Structure 1
Amino acid sequence: MPRDSMTSLIEKIARKASVTFKNCGSSANGENNVFLENQGELSNLLNEIRAADLKITPRKIKSSSKSQSHSPPVTYMHICETKAFSLGVFLLKTGASIPLHDHPGMNGMLKVLYGKVSIRCFDKLDNPPDAESEIQFNPPLIPDEKEALRRSILSSIGEYTEESGPCILTPLKDNLHQIDAVDGPAAFLDILAPPYDPDDGRDCHYYKVLQTVSENADKKSGQQEQEEIWLLKISQPDDFWCGGEPYPGPEVSV
């Protein structure tokens, strides 16, 4: 008991993540009651975490400069990683964005530590046979791009601060999302389970939202969130890259 009372909050989070996601494959569909109970307890721990617990000081808004323009818009602090999950902190500069991307077969939990982020989440849908041949895109697609089309729905748009609960994604729900810093720099704690592993089919893919002719015509309807949206898988955008920086917080061992 005395030892546990000395355990840092971030280590408690890591230990709970290890328990929650140790059998991630069998519980990823969200129908396992034990998984859901553990996930709820992990979410409660994430609600408590603050930047100060990780010895992270909120970044100040800096004026643009040549040195700033050549530094990465996003950096990552690695905390720990196991076969079951990875844990780290993403730090976004003012105006920075993590482009629309996916997490194949992965669960995730995101908790803002400081600042504010806007998160747009998409769900993939099955492509019906030759569906893209019935859609007119603006601009028109080239033949090779049709293989990279993904049908989806915009499932949610929300803003999150340190007072917000975590944003949760599953292999099927909110799995694709874009994260934008709002009104200044921001940082969030990130759990992915299992971690990215290209050799095991879990590579990160980037997407852009395509505009269709019918979508352009119906923009005034105000019902875009409920409509099917076509995404195009693309290479990592040229204006996005992620650097690394040391994690200054309590040591974590799992």
Structure 2
Amino acid sequence: MGIETTRADRKVNKELREFPKATNTTSRSKPRKSRRPQKKTSPVQKLFQTCKEVFANGGTGTVPSHEDIERLRAVLDKMKPEDVGLSPDMPCLRTQGARRTPEITYIRLYESEKFSMGIFCLPPSGVIPLHNHPGMTVFSKLLFGTVHINSYDWVVDGPSYTSAQLNPSETTAAARLAKVKVDSDFTAPCNTSILYPADGGNMHCFTAVTACAVLDVLGPPYSEPDGRHCTYYREFPFTSFSGTILLHARV
């Protein structure tokens, strides 16, 4: 998803930022005769390590193997709110005033040039606008609550329409035909959803039916220098072809 950090809840478990660090393999110190029992790997640490392996050779437009996708999906499917220190009664998820636009909280867990991990916390009626994920593979796990998802993929070799054809006052960009991939409510617990560079609903919009939290893994993450710019879109009804809609990039 493509919204920058708003504010992070300070009660998030410290464990989220304690990922394994590289060890110094050139150390000359003698190994200890006795070692302490290793701590059990936490769900967040396991997620981090799996992402690190799955996206090790990733880049723009590179999709992990089917085996790696299923491996990461299996880890995410088991993630629970308590694994990341979240609950539906967090202050940032309370219903806000009717005249205020619901504020969305983004908690950044980790980000590198290979992948990113983060959580979107949406209060009731909170909306993450329709946006794309250029050259990216994205895993989204609903931790709790109910969210409505609209997602689309571009129609290959579909016609383009100038803005003037849609609205004479707008003449700077073109609208493209997109096909509807998903238009449904999802309630936790549910399976992890996955989108790909060219299919799976690469452009999506999230609307919170109830307070909810979505754990996102992006591989690779957004990057302006690498051509992975987040673009937001407006939707225009289109009745000429069933199951399609016109999307116009916001300037």
Matching residue of 2:184: 158
**Does 2:97 align with 1:69?**
no
Q: Per-residue deviation at 1:23?
A: 1.9
Number of paired residues?
213
Q: How does 1:72-87 map to 2 (within 5 A)?
A: 73-87=103-117
Identity fraction in percent: 29
Matching residue of 1:15: 49
TM-score normalised by length of structure 1 = 0.74
Aligned with 1:208: secondary structure? strand
Matching residue of 1:54: 84
Aligned partner (choices 50, 54, 58) of residue 24 of structure 1: 58
Letter in 2 for 1:102: N
Partners of 2:147 and 2:138 lie apart in 1 by 16
Q: How does 1:242-253 map to 2 (within 5 A)?
A: none
Tell me if structure 2 keeps the 8 A contact 1:113–1:161.
Answer: no
Q: Over residues 117-157 of structure 1, what are the superposed CA-to-partner deviations in whole Å (9 max), with x where a residue is unaligned?
A: 1111100134556x427x995x5344624x33222111122
Structure 1 pair 186/77, CA: closer, same or farther in 2 (3 Å)?
same
Aligned partner (choices 128, 133, 140) of residue 167 of structure 2: 140
Tell me if structure 2 keeps the 8 A contact 1:127–1:150.
Answer: no
Partners of 1:153 and 1:128 lie apart in 2 by 10
Structure 1 pair 171/77, CA: closer, same or farther in 2 (3 Å)?
same
TM-score normalised by length of structure 2 = 0.75
Structure 1 pair 104/2, CA: closer, same or farther in 2 (3 Å)?
farther
Letter in 2 for 1:14: F
Structure 1 pair 143/188, CA: closer, same or farther in 2 (3 Å)?
closer
For the aligned residue pairs, the C-alpha RMSD in angstroms reads 2.8
Tell me if structure 1 keeps the 8 A contact 2:118–2:215.
Answer: yes
Unaligned runs of 5+ residues in structure 2 are 1-35
Structure 1 pair 155/65, CA: closer, same or farther in 2 (3 Å)?
closer
Matching residue of 1:248: none
Unaligned runs of 5+ residues in structure 1 are 236-254
Structure of greater Rg: 2
**Does 2:178 align with 1:178?**
no
Aligned partner (choices 231, 243, 247) of residue 247 of structure 2: 231
Structure with higher RCO (Cα < 8 A, 6+ apart): 1
More divergent stretch after superposition (82-91 vs 18-27): 18-27
Partners of 1:55 and 1:143 lie apart in 2 by 46
Q: Over residues 144-185 of structure 1, what are the superposed CA-to-partner deviations in whole Å (9 max), with x where a residue is unaligned?
A: 24x332221111223223311111010011110011111x21
Partners of 1:25 and 1:64 lie apart in 2 by 39
Partners of 2:57 and 2:223 lie apart in 1 by 17
Partners of 2:61 and 2:41 lie apart in 1 by 28
Greater fraction helix: 1
Letter in 1 for 2:215: L
Aligned with 2:228: secondary structure? coil
